Structure 1
Amino acid sequence: MNVYDVLKERGYIAQATHEEEIRALLAKENVTFYVGFDPTADSLHVGHFLGMMVMAHMQRAGHRPICLIGGGTGTVGDPSGRTDMRQMLTDEIIEHNCNCFKKQMQHFIDFSDGKALIVNNGEWLRKLNYIDLLRDVGPYFSVNRMLAAECYKQRMEKGLTFLEFNYMVMQAYDFMELNRRYNCKMEMGGDDQWSNIIAGVELLRRKYERPAYGLTFTLLTTSEGKKMGKTAKGALWLDPDKTSPYEFYQYWRNVGDTDVKKCLSLLTFLPMDEVNRLGSFEGQKINEAKRVLAYEVTKMVHGEQEAKKAQEAAEAVFGGQGILDNVPSLEVSKKALGGRLLDILVQKKIFASKGEGKRLIQQNGLSLNNEKVSDIDRILNESDFADGFCMLKKGKKKYYRIILLDE
């Protein structure tokens, strides 16, 4: 089966510049393609993971991915989908973030024997001479068309800076440089990158009259159109120190019923027959599909051992079976007993502030050992602990094991 048809069947493809040509190209030769990742943080997040899944499908079909890390474009910042300007990062932070990305990407893509490449666009963008750049590619960009591009529309409301205006040119230059160096024929990216991708395709076709193609994959959104991967703490990170495997597992275990099939299709390698079977479940049975989804995605990102631990922890909390050792925990000294539960939870960073804790208590959103905490001044006592621990529930779905230390 042509990998293009695989991607289409699983729901990845949003737009393509030359659909029939791309499908024919992927059938007749091993194609080098790239996806760009700007190092705006020190970890990839679940939005990046969708891109890695597309690359993995392509690689399994015999094509060669280039993971392009934006050591150059990251100095400017992509204005796509933004109403404000991105924070400018120092060179040291950009380098650190690039190194973090490289380590994480190796979990999903096989880089052995040249089967895939990790390239940093800082290698060429940081060396460019401004006048040479203008003369080299400037004639192939229409300012009128650039201003009409989707990637600039939201920034235009507050004022698009000249710094950001150059981003499209830089991304198009990347495609041209990767074509020169590695015969890269296709750029892929999230659907918010459509305008930038078209710019690169047209630059190669107009300047060199070479075949060049662009394809965007769907953004990871809920059935209501909201972006997935947002938690109370912010993004759903792939770094276990930023989002624990348990929190990661629980996120997928709690997705909306109508989003289960889509997530199974996009974020796992389960055969589509199995995806359709699990996605057809209704009522209580849909929880079986959610367990499979959460386990499969966590296994891919954090490994089988961590996925099993997360699953056992979830079953211990929600099903009354399993190993409680894997439930997120905090330790409390016996010296703290007799103090306000609220103060202890703020100190342990379960709440960001006393105000947040008070509001949750007033909304009946905090429980200790399955009993609602209704008193803001509730004291934590030794009698709350059985077998050396007690269970705390914050909100509807967050559980913590409070362990009592003898010291």
Structure 2
Amino acid sequence: MTSHASRVLVLNSGSSSVKYQLLDMTDGTRLALGLVERIGEETSRLSHTPLASGGAKREHEGPIADHEAALKAVATELAADGLGLDSPELAAIGHRVVHGGLKFTVPTVIDDAVLAEIERLVPVAPLHNPANITGIRTAQALRPDLPQVAVFDTAFHTTMPECAARYAIDVATADAHRIRRYGFHGTSHAYVSRQTAALLGKDPAETNVIVLHLGNGASASAVAGGRCMDTSMGLTPLEGLVMGTRSGDIDPAVTFHLKRVAGMSADEIDVLLNKKSGLLGLCGDNDMREIRRRIEEGDERAQLAFDIYIHRLKKYIGAYTAVLGHVDAVVFTAGVGENAAPVREAAVAGLEELGLAVDAGLNAVRSDAPRLISPEYARVAVAVVPTDEELEIAQQTYALVNA
């Protein structure tokens, strides 16, 4: 790595997509970003925005066979803007890796042993880790000389005490099959909890925050002094809050019941709980904007879905208040958390005894900036802090390769 190399390419490889951003770490500015979708299909699509030059978004449609072809197409787009992967200014490539188990608690430079361990975790992250591995291998082939860094979604949650991380099942069985609460969205929870402390003018080490990451996937975390003490997702991202298509918390015996009474297979139950449940299962829509529109028209199914979503959210706010003992702020982030004022208002309504309140005027403001939405008299701050997982991955990657 040359001394002036200050750029980091962040890759988030999904099963049929690659999201990417190129950042200059001297000031954190984005030079380019884009998305390759529907990899392996006839109508693959690449959208690329060259932010450094202020150019217009470029879109291409046509077959992109695999992740290798996708990354080569990304490299071509970046090169067209003078930001090619062969640039001496590229310091490292940072990869989002969903599951790091207990072994990976910090960002890690990827070698063969690290890759083998990520592969060993495939059984507990079958949807995500294989795609992450493919992205890593492809990037390694394109730039074998460059440090490749894995930043793990689970890492932030590895500070949870055993009483929060362990399930109450037979210990030998749990240990043999690595069954415990790992938690996800950790990169977002780490970034947002730190930004919330800054918003309050406090040291993160002295700040207790409940983070509500509400997107199509949703999770809550209890963060004490910058360390995760509890989180809502578990062995997989299925546990916890009501999500767009995931059920969240459910009696485990529902799965046995569906097998015995409905004759459903394990795979069918998996699909039901992960892809056909949550808001979608309750009312047929998983877009909160559409659900709110339907509620305004008097749609009772949409109203019930919203009420169930909020009820679960309130339970976690209450539970994590108890876990932390003292709360400085409750913070909303991600697509729904940042944009859906009615969700924020409803989640806090009735929790005045916990010190929570929302100012209607402040809550109605739309902004990309971190902001408080609670009245001055509120004992606990309520905040909206936009998440930035790519910046967090880039910062962690850059810090590691420059350590």
TM-score tier (shorter): under 0.3
**Larger Rg: 1 or 2?**
1
TM-score by length of 1: 0.25
TM-score normalised by L of structure 2? 0.26
